[in-house]
């Protein structure tokens, strides 16, 4: 029986976190849920605990990537076989997790990312500028990573032991998803993307505001450039 | 030619810089590893201020013939840029280490609170 941990980064998600934890447990009660509270100023940590999650409380805000990585470090320290990551705002539907597990179970992947754009069946239609941004990042990562990817900004993913080891050691601290995808590919991880639908945010607001998007784009571009110049050690267990 | 007063002022400023840095190290308010670049800055500026022929020659290499002390400014600016760049690398390292520490503290805290709970359970048994 594989041991699975759900890593849920959360920053001021008091309005959604309880339901997220309950939904994960409703999907599979055997899952351990770890909510990484990134120094929220509201009730997020207590509500998560009351809903039945293990709560890891960061002493100060370290950003989404640092929070997610904390969860992967937890998974590594507690010897989990599989870790999944879902956002604390409820946009990732635990009901879709089965799709993410299939490629892992068949040994086809170390890392499975829930993509909104594998085929046309998804309902997610972002505004033009964001759609372009997502597409450009996907093209770049495909080019630099040597494998076609369709959605590099998705935070909905599942990793096996090899993936946990990689991300516990190496995960960007802010705006991590795009760069992490490339790092995984360059480290030799097998990556599979599956079509998922994401829900609209229930509460709170997206961390990517218009003002920050320029920093976001430049930072990610630079990170991709540098990541493609770096050498990444092939991980044990990674093929290709 | 470099005006004599510029050379004297440059030399005094360089010596002051070196003395201040040494005093900061002595008082343990500055670590040696962060003082080295400042000392090098002071030393280079002192040499270029005091050794007037050298400044004139170097200025000649770069085609600065009308006012050689401009080279002094250029060299000082270059060293300040080096110091700032060095600080940026230090800052980046500290940021990474800080996050790593926060993560470890958070994970340990979670473990310790778990241990506390199981201790209490044992005592109840």
Give the model confidence (pLDDT) of A189-225 as tens digits.
Answer: 999 999 998 887 655 556 556 777 788 888 999 999 9
Query: What is the residue extent of each domain of chain A?
Result: 4-229
A36 reaches B (C-beta below 8 A): yes
For residues A40 and A69, is the Cβ–Cβ distance under 8 A? Answer: no
Residues from chain A that touch B102, judged by Cβ atoms under 8 A, are 58-60, 62, 66
Q: What is the pTM of this model?
A: 0.87
Contacts of A62 in chain B (CB under 8 A): 99, 102-103
Tokens, residue A171: 């995960």
Per-residue exposure over A134-167, b if at least 16 CB sit within 10 Å of its own CB, e if not: beebbebbbebbebebbbbbbbbbbbbbbbbbbb
- The mean pLDDT value of chain B amounts to 92
Distance, first Cα to last Cα, chain A: 27
Query: What is the C-alpha to C-alpha distance for residues A35 and A220, in angstroms, rounded to an integer?
Result: 26
Token representation of residue B52: 């007037």
Comparing CB atoms, the residue among B102, B107, B109 nearest residue A62 is: B102
Please write the tens of the pLDDT for every residue from A122-180: 777 777 777 888 888 999 999 999 999 998 889 999 999 999 999 999 999 888 999 99
Percent of chain A at pLDDT > 90 equals 69
Output the pLDDT for position A92: 93
Alpha-carbon span B21 to A203, nearest angstrom:
53
CATH classification for the domain delimited by A4-229, as one of 3.30.70.260, 3.40.50.150, 3.90.550.10, 3.30.930.10? 3.90.550.10
Compute φ and ψ for A223, nearest 5 degrees: -60, -40
Q: What is the number of structural domains in chain B?
A: 1
Of A56, A63, A173, the CB nearest to B106: A56
Q: Is the pLDDT of residue A4 over 90?
A: yes
Q: Could A73 and B99 be called an inter-chain contact, meaning their C-beta atoms sit closer than 8 Å?
A: no
Sheet harboring A82-85: ordered strands across? Answer: A54-57, A32-37, A4-10, A82-85, A157-159, A111-115, A191-195
Minimum Cα–Cα distance from B114: chain A residue: A54
Residue A73 has its nearest CB partner, among B96, B103, B109, at B103
Q: Under an 8 A CB cutoff, do B102 and A58 touch?
A: yes
- Interface residue A40 vs chain B (CB under 8 A): no
Q: Which residue has the higher pLDDT, A204 or A14?
A: A14
A223 touches chain B (CB under 8 A): no
Tokens of B87: 């600080």
Write out the residue range of the structural domain in which residue B114 sits: 4-124
- B95, B96, B103: residue with CB nearest A70: B103
Residue A13 has a CB neighbour count (10 Å cut-off) of: 29
Least confident of A8-22, A48-62, A222-236, B32-46: A222-236
Residue with the larger pLDDT of the pair B2 and A46: A46
């Amino acid at each position: 029986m594989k041991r699975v941990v759900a890593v849920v980064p959360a920053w001021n998600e008091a309005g959604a976190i309880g339901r997220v934890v309950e939904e994960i447990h409703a999907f599979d009660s055997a899952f351990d849920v770890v909510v990484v509270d990134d120094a929220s100023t509201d009730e997020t940590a207590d509500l998560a605990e009351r809903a039945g999650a293990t709560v890891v409380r960061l002493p100060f805000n370290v950003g989404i990537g640092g929070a997610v990585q904390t969860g992967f470090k937890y998974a590594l320290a507690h010897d989990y076989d599989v870790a999944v990551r879902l956002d604390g705002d409820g946009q990732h539907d635990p009901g879709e997790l089965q799709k993410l597990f299939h490629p892992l179970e068949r040994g086809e992947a170390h890392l499975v990312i829930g993509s909104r754009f594998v085929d046309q069946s998804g309902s997610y239609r972002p505004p033009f500028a964001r759609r372009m941004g997502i597409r450009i990042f996907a093209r770049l990562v495909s080019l630099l990573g040597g494998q076609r990817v369709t959605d590099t900004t998705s935070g909905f993913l599942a990793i096996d032991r090899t993936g946990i080891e990689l991300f516990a050691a190496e995960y960007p601290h802010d705006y991590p998803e795009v760069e992490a995808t490339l790092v995984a590919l360059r480290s030799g991880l097998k990556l599979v993307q599956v079509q998922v639908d994401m829900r609209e945010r229930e509460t709170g607001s997206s961390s990517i505001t218009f003002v920050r998007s320029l920093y976001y784009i430049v930072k990610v571009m630079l990170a991709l450039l540098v990541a493609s110049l770096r050498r990444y050690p092939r991980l044990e267990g990674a093929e290709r | 030619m470099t005006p004599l007063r510029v050379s004297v002022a440059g030399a005094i400023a360089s010596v002051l810089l070196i003395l201040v840095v040494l005093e900061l190290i002595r008082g343990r308010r500055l670590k040696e590893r962060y003082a080295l670049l400042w000392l090098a800055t002071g030393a280079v500026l002192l040499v270029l201020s005091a050794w007037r022929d050298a400044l004139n020659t170097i200025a000649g290499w770069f085609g600065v013939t009308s006012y050689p002390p401009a080279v002094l400014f250029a060299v000082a600016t270059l060293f300040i840029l080096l110091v700032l760049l060095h600080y940026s690398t230090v800052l980046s390292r500290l940021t990474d280490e800080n996050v790593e520490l926060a993560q470890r503290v958070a994970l340990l805290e979670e473990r310790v609170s778990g241990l506390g709970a199981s201790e209490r359970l044992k005592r109840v048994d």
